[in-house]
């Protein structure tokens, strides 16, 4: 019986050896692992990074791991429990706040202070997005924030010329563009990306001290009622409130969405999906009121790293100068480094001019970023808040009832252990 069990194992092992698979021999060198967030296409650039780093640090090897967003935290947290956390992680959203509050991340403030020349090259507003309780945990990797894409053909069809400048105009235009299978407005909504709608209407999620819910105001009730009505009438496509992203981008590419509130990377995605998309057919504008929610990525370093100095050096290299430029050209994104971005804008103007107007919005109005509250319980607050709001927006609850309930739940999360 045992033989029977062993045979397949032996076959497997033989196979593995014959094909030269299996794990490589233990390294005598220092090893740094970097876990990135869904950039599997970046292999060539990653190899360039490795080469560049080898020149200054021949004793360090870089291990690259990449996971997509849905499994990222599952993988990372399992590694943390096992004590083998990747040294450097690339994150988006509010996930990192929980890690930081638990003491799982390295405080980078001293490093940023020490390497002043490097730090001065970054956008301070973006760097500040990674501060929790006075300590800085992240170095900007690539930056993106929301903007308003609009379908010029649909706009024209509705007898309009310019994108909306105020929120009321936005709703008005959206209504005019809606008919049949066509919806006037849609928004992405993961990671609080829809929050500019609320910010523009003067609503904040929490009080300035971040201790209590602040969103339950008569103004908010009126806004939610308005949004719910527009949603019911099909003016706002219902998928806006589901949190999915493939569908909104696909729908915009199909030409059935008038205006889309989305982050910059969505542009090239729906452009590759809709051959009709170009400068003449799709416009990029600031969201009314110029509010936007950042969806930037940053590099963070795990507390458990054995080589913090080397990890920091690597992060510095890849997030500035040539390292950042390599990523910008490899992914068509802007980075957190000012100098690299001016080079990148020249590169884009030459290679992919259509993307330039979109990317230009990304560097403006950095003072009007919203949708980020540096609280440890970001994810829990969202869990408490959003389903209630969703119920109101989709017409399953009255706005007042939903916001009351959401307020109660959010406050409970904030005061709980």
Within 105-164, the residues that bind other proteins by CB under 8 A are none
Please give the Cα distance from 243 to 9 (Å, whole number): 44
Span of 198-206, 232-240, 279-287, 305-313 interacting with other proteins by CB under 8 A: 232-240
In the complex with other proteins, which residue's Cβ is closer, 330 or 357?
Answer: 330
Site for other proteins in 45-84 (CB under 8 A): 63, 65-68, 70-71, 73-75, 77-78, 80-82
Q: Tell me, by CB under 8 A, how many residues bind other proteins.
A: 83
Angle at 284 between CA 280 and CA 287, to 5 degrees: 150
Q: Does 321 bind other proteins (CB under 8 A)?
A: no
Q: Does 254 bind other proteins (CB under 8 A)?
A: yes
- H-helix or E-strand spanning residue 176: helix 167-177
In the complex with other proteins, which residue's Cβ is closer, 268 or 345?
Answer: 268
CB of 104 to other proteins, least distance (A): 5
CB of 388 to other proteins, least distance (A): 7
In the complex with other proteins, which residue's Cβ is closer, 149 or 241?
Answer: 241
Please give the Cα distance from 315 to 327 (Å, whole number): 13
Q: Which of 391, 399, 403, 410 binds other proteins (CB under 8 A)?
A: 391
Please give the Cα distance from 152 to 129 (Å, whole number): 33
In the complex with other proteins, which residue's Cβ is closer, 37 or 118?
Answer: 37
In the complex with other proteins, which residue's Cβ is closer, 127 or 259?
Answer: 259
Nearest CA among 402, 203, 165 for reference residue 287: 165
10 Å Cβ neighbour count for 66? 18
Site for other proteins in 341-380 (CB under 8 A): 379-380
CA 235 to chain centre: 26
C-alpha distances (whole Å) from 206 to each of 130, 209, 214, 370, 413 are 18, 8, 5, 12, 12
Site for other proteins in 13-32 (CB under 8 A): 13, 15-16, 19, 21-24
Site for other proteins in 255-274 (CB under 8 A): 256, 265-266, 268-270, 272-274
Please give the Cα distance from 55 to 50 (Å, whole number): 9
Site for other proteins in 177-206 (CB under 8 A): 181-183
In the complex with other proteins, which residue's Cβ is closer, 95 or 170?
Answer: 95
10 Å Cβ neighbour count for 211? 12
Nearest CA among 313, 309, 299, 297 for reference residue 118: 313
- H-helix or E-strand spanning residue 257: strand 257-263
CB of 149 to other proteins, least distance (A): 15
Q: How many helices (DSSP H) and strands (DSSP E) are in the chain?
A: 19, 12
Q: Does 294 bind other proteins (CB under 8 A)?
A: no
CB of 413 to other proteins, least distance (A): 10
Please give the Cα distance from 127 to 129 (Å, whole number): 5
Place of tokens 């094909």: 19
Span of 3-11, 130-138, 158-166, 308-316 interacting with other proteins by CB under 8 A: 3-11
Site string for other proteins, 298-317 (x = CB under 8 A): -----x--------------
């Amino acid at each position: 019986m045992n033989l029977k069990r062993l045979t397949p194992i032996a076959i497997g092992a033989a196979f593995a050896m014959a094909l030269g698979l299996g794990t490589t021999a233990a390294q005598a060198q220092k090893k740094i692992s970097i876990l990135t967030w869904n950039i599997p296409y970046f292999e060539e650039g990653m190899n360039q990074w490795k080469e560049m780093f080898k020149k200054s640090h021949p004793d360090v090897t870089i291990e690259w791991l990449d996971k997509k967003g849905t499994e990222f935290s599952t993988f990372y947290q399992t590694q943390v429990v096992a004590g083998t956390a990747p040294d450097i992680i690339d994150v988006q959203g509010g996930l990192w706040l929980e890690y930081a509050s638990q003491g799982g991340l390295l405080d980078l403030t001293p490093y940023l202070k020490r390497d002043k020349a490097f730090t001065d090259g970054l956008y301070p507003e973006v760097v500040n997005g990674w501060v929790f309780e006075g300590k800085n945990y992240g170095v900007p990797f690539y930056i993106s924030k929301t903007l308003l894409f609009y379908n010029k053909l649909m706009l024209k069809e509705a007898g309009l010329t310019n994108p909306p400048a105020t929120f009321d105009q936005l709703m008005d235009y959206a209504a005019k563009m809606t008919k049949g299978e066509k919806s006037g407005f849609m928004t992405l909504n993961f990671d609080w990306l829809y929050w500019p709608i609320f910010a523009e209407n003067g609503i904040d999620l929490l009080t300035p001290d971040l201790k209590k819910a602040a969103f339950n105001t008569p103004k908010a009730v009126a806004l939610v009622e308005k949004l719910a009505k527009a949603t019911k009438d099909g003016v706002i496509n219902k998928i806006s409130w589901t949190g999915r992203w493939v569908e909104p981008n696909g729908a915009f590419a199909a030409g059935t969405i008038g205006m889309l509130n989305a982050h910059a990377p969505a542009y090239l995605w729906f452009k590759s999906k809709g051959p009709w998309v170009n400068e003449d057919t799709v416009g990029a504008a600031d969201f009314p009121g110029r509010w936007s929610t950042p969806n930037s990525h940053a590099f963070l370093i795990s507390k458990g790293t054995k080589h913090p100095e080397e990890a920091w050096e690597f992060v510095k290299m890849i997030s500035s100068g040539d390292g950042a430029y390599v990523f910008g050209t490899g992914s068509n994104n802007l980075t957190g480094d000012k100098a690299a971005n001016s080079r990148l804008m020249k590169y884009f103007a030459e290679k992919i001019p259509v993307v330039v107007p979109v990317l230009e919005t990304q560097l403006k109005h950095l003072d009007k970023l919203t949708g980020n509250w540096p609280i440890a319980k970001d994810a829990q607050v969202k869990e408490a808040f959003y389903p209630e709001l969703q119920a109101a927006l989709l017409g399953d609850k009255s706005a007042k009832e939903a916001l009351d309930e959401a307020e109660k739940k959010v406050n409970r999360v904030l005061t709980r252990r």
